[in-house]
Amino acid sequence: MESLSLVETDGKYILNNKDEFLEFINSSDNYSGKTVELGCNIDMKNEVIGFSSIFSGTFDGRGHSIINFKTSRGLFREIGSSGIVQNLHISNASFDGESSAGIVVGINGGKIENILVTGNLMVTNAMSYTGGIAGNNEGIIRNCVFAGYITANADTAGVVKYIGGIAGKNEKTIENCYAEGAITGKAAAVAGIVGNNGASISHCYNYMDVSGANSVAGIASRNIGTINECRNYGAINQKQVDENNEQAGGIVAGNDGTITNCYNYGIIVGTGKNIAGIAGYTSNGIEECGNYGEITGTSNVAGIVGLYRGSINTSGHIRVAGIAGTMTGGTIKNCYVQGEVHSTQSKDGNGIGGILGSAAENPHVDLVNCYNRGTIKAANMLARYVGGIAGTLMTGSISNCYNAGSLSVSDTSIVIAGTIAGFLGENTTCENSYFESVSFCMYHKENEDFLGTEYSKTTEELREGSVVTLLGTGFSKDDGKINNGYPVLNNQQDKSYQYPVIYELNGGQLDKYFDIIEKNTTISPPSAPQKAYAKYLGWFRDKELNTQFSGGQIEKPMMLYAGWDNAVT
């Protein structure tokens, strides 16, 4: 290994100019046990750079900026298990290669923390996994932000390319990370945070508008790990390419893992099937999740889960639901929907419901402690069964649920509608479940139309404490008025719009990268950044530095730009 020619001071190597930085970045040393600190801001002037060895030391940016560079795999090709990269602003970065990559690192086996990346990234057909921070994460990514645009080339249309605002693939831990901007194209496995999650994602928020083909989501395109306390605020647009493999969700497109305490606020639109607020399809239960966004799709459309997957449904019928589309076994518990659910399919449909679209004969499906307040619309379709809670449920149970959402059906002469269920199987039970009075019966069975008059409640009755008691211990009275007076789930919080304020230093130094602020909160400009040989002009709202920012309320994601006069780096 070659050693640094830089002078070591107190166990650290400090890079004080561009030449020293290039000596570091081009070195073959892995820096194991060494700390390298950035002592200045670096403008690479669109040069291609990348550390080619496995970095095993600590690289501390100390709030400085590295701007205007291209990379084929990442600023670091790979970070080893003992490697740490932290405290860095990266601005105007882009890819220059045909390999899987991330702007900070291609493969991360160590820890990445407190890093902001801005740039416009292009994904080609040769890049299997791509992320704004890391291509493939096998370590820890914490407190990082990507703000920019990721575009998948036309030659990726319909091809599985794991693309994420933070990482293409995650195999360990991503937490407290945020993505803002847009992902565009027709690649087949894209999401605002991670393309493919095999481990843990927690407390991550997506603000990116994401469009793609087949499998598109706000947090992860596919999840076989755990996702907890995440939110999607971005618009998700799924464009059908392969009708046998299509799904979109505000949190996850396809879920074979665990999802808890997640919420969708974004508009979800799909031209294919399995379109939902939380998961397009799932093979596991979903707990304590909520949907506020408007959901539109063709079949298996839902507020929480589009398709509960197990055995394959070959009937070709359509399922639409407020919480679950087509389910093939399991439980959805403590979930709610307040956003509208629309189906745009013109073919014959089978089940549309506020909680569940339909479930086949064999799987046992339980719907427990759920409610729907969103309107269920079957526009331009001939749906056979429509229910406020379930469209069709052949085997299972509905317990402690209520529906206060309206049903909008195209033609009551060909549609069988029920305030709780369109159709229930012979052995399916419905207990302690109530509905707001409408002109439909409660549910239908093979030889029975059950009116359920005793379970019909007026708006005033649903808002009274007596119905809360009937619903069981999972519900509370809406004393905080977060649900328009209707019963709320225990520990349910009011909807919360939180947005990032991102600090683009334009080549300066500041030990601050972003803030997450509650909507309508008044904020002040942060402290002034530093930049050698430049006069600081203040913070600006726009990239062109035309409108100075002196403070105000945040109403959406915001980037503040530092202005400089006669900057020389």
Q: Which helix (H) or strand (E) holds 465?
A: helix 465-471
CB count, 10 Å around CB of 180? Answer: 27
Q: How far is residue 493 CA from its own chain's centroid?
A: 19
CB count, 10 Å around CB of 67? Answer: 23
- Residues 6 or more apart whose Cβ sits within 8 Å of residue 432: 399, 400, 401, 470, 471, 472
pLDDT tens profile 28-42: 999 999 999 999 999
pLDDT for residue 315: 38
| Distance of alpha carbon 553 from alpha carbon 175, whole angstroms | 27
Asked if residue 236 lies in contact with residue 267, where contact means CB atoms within 8 angstroms, the answer is yes
DSSP classification of residue 458: -
In DSSP terms, which residues pair with 59 in a beta bridge?
A: 36, 85
| Distance of alpha carbon 92 from alpha carbon 111, whole angstroms | 23
CA distances in angstroms from 89 to 131, 273, 465, 505, 530, listed in the order given: 16, 40, 53, 8, 13
Taken in order 527, 102, 155, 236, the sign of the CA dihedral is negative
pLDDT tens profile 39-69: 999 999 999 999 999 999 999 999 999 999 9
SS3 of 50-72: CEEEEECCEEECCCCEEEEEEEC
pLDDT for residue 250: 97
| Distance of alpha carbon 424 from alpha carbon 397, whole angstroms | 9
CB count, 10 Å around CB of 114? Answer: 20
Q: Which of 130, 136, 132 is nearest to 119 (CA)?
A: 132
How many CA atoms, within 13 angstroms, populate the side-chain half-sphere of residue 90? 33
Burial class from Cβ neighbours inside 10 Å (0-12, 13-18, 19+) for residue 533 reads: exposed
pLDDT for residue 126: 83
Q: Which helix (H) or strand (E) holds 45?
A: strand 42-48
Q: What are phi and psi of 529, to 5 degrees?
A: -75, 175
SS3 of 368-430: ECCEECCCEEECCCEEEEEECCEEEECCEEEECCEECCCEECCCCCCCEEECCEEEECCCCEE
Strand-strand pairing, 252-255 and 220-223: parallel
In the three-class reduction of DSSP (H, G, I as helix; E, B as strand; rest coil), residue 311 is classed as coil
Asked if residue 37 lies in contact with residue 57, where contact means CB atoms within 8 angstroms, the answer is no
| Distance of alpha carbon 437 from alpha carbon 462, whole angstroms | 10
Q: At 472, which amino acid appears?
A: G
pLDDT tens profile 484-518: 999 999 999 999 999 999 999 999 999 999 999 99
Take residue 416 and report the two structure tokens written for it. 């069988």
pLDDT for residue 460: 93
pLDDT along the chain (569 residues), means of 10: 64 93 94 96 96 97 98 97 98 89 97 97 89 98 97 76 95 98 90 98 98 94 97 93 79 95 96 88 89 88 78 40 56 93 66 72 84 85 73 86 89 78 91 89 90 94 92 93 95 95 97 96 94 95 96 95 78
Any idea which residue has 């790979």 for tokens? 78
CB count, 10 Å around CB of 494? Answer: 9
pLDDT for residue 394: 82
| Distance of alpha carbon 521 from alpha carbon 494, whole angstroms | 16
| Distance of alpha carbon 350 from alpha carbon 301, whole angstroms | 12
The span from the first CA to the last CA of the chain, in angstroms, equals 31
Q: How far is residue 419 CA from its own chain's centroid?
A: 32
| Distance of alpha carbon 224 from alpha carbon 488, whole angstroms | 30
pLDDT for residue 380: 56
Output helix, strand, coil percentages for the chain, rounded to the nearest 5.
5, 50, 45
Take residue 423 and report the two structure tokens written for it. 């159709």
